[in-house]
Amino acid sequence: MTAAEKATQNLVETVGLKEFFTSIIDISDKRFEDRYNALEKLINKNSQESKEAVKSALDAQERAVNVAMAASEKAVLKAEIAAEKRFDNFAENYTKALDNISKQVGELREAKSGVSGEATGRKETGITLTNIILILIAAGALIANFFKG
């Protein structure tokens, strides 16, 4: 018989079998209770860490959304400014084209009234009409380019 077995037998003979098993059960209960408490602490700690991690992730996501919104607003503002500049350029070019057409029409009137002889007047009128048609085509191209781009 080993030393541990002898000690157990002496303990059983000294305190009695019922007290022996009761003490073993109490020791086991105490050991399981200690394990349970340790696991509960670990779970609570992990739960708290998980809550903190989720909160941190949500805060980071909120900051990222705020940055994206600010960048989006900035891009919209730039697009609006670019569209306004484009419209201003179009209006300026359109005004220049209209002024040029007006000038050509004035020249046509002068040529028609100041020309002596019917053949010369027709030749000048044809050239001026050709110029007006070309200017109208250019104005149409400007308008199409504005709406295209």
Number of compact structural domains in the chain? 1
pTM of this structure:
0.41
Residue 4 counted as domain residue = no
Distances (CA, A) of 139 to 50, 96, 105: 67, 9, 15
pLDDT of 98 reads: 81
Distances (CA, A) of 74 to 82, 84, 85, 94, 109: 12, 15, 17, 30, 52
Residue 3 counted as domain residue = no
Please answer whether residues 10 and 1 qualify as being in contact, where contact means their C-beta atoms are separated by less than 8 angstroms.
no
Quote the tokens at residue 67: 């940055």
Residue 21 counted as domain residue = yes
Residue 2 counted as domain residue = no
The segments of the chain whose pLDDT lies below 70 read 4, 7-8, 11-17, 111-126, 149
pLDDT of 137 reads: 84
The whole domain housing 16 covers 10-148
HSE (side-chain half, CA atoms, 13 Å) at 64:
6
